[in-house]
Structure 1
Amino acid sequence: MAIAAVFDVPGMTQAQYEQSADRVTGGKGAVTKASDWPVPGLISHTSMPTPGGWLVVDVWESEEAFQRFGEIIVPILHELGAPHVEPKIYPVHTVVTR
């Protein structure tokens, strides 16, 4: 079952987000397609600034795929000094893509 993982990270900066994306892609810069991810299973990724931090919403094919990605991204975020937050996980009912 597909899931949505929502990270609302107070205090996270755009620079920290961009540095984490660069590390996720192995130094290729911004994340632009699902194949940039180090594990399979990503359906969509959206990020945006908020008044007090950064918001990321990912849709994954399964919670297991998301957990595999978490094993990679959590240490990266920790190294960058991003605040630790637990993502909110929701089962996905509908996904529409272009």
Structure 2
Amino acid sequence: MTGPHHHGYVWLGSGDVLVKPGDAHRRPDHPEFRSAQVMPLQCADWLLKPADRIEATFEEPKVAADWYDAQLNRYAELFVGSYAPKPLYEETVRVLSVGEDRVGGW
């Protein structure tokens, strides 16, 4: 895929794993970065992870937004507390259309 496109990634886990015993493994210059099964500190650093970490790839922002929405629905029962995330679909399409990232964390 050579034109503009979007990659979808999913990481599920406890926030405790992200910061204990420190976050060095989430930084690209750390030897364990590529193999660490946690999300990187910077969203763009997902691109430095092995390609098999990509869950899906999309050329169209609307299709990527559909996938993002489906992931929120798929994992909604895992979100802690009563917070029910539901970013506006149109806003997701807008940010992806201008080349920004859409990231959610709960």
TM-score class, shorter: 0.3 to 0.5
Q: Which structure has the highest helix share of the two?
A: 2
Q: RCO greater where, 1 or 2, for CA within 8 Å and sep 6 or more?
A: 1
TM-score for the superposition, normalised by structure 1: 0.34
TM-score for the superposition, normalised by structure 2: 0.32
Pair member with larger Rg = 2
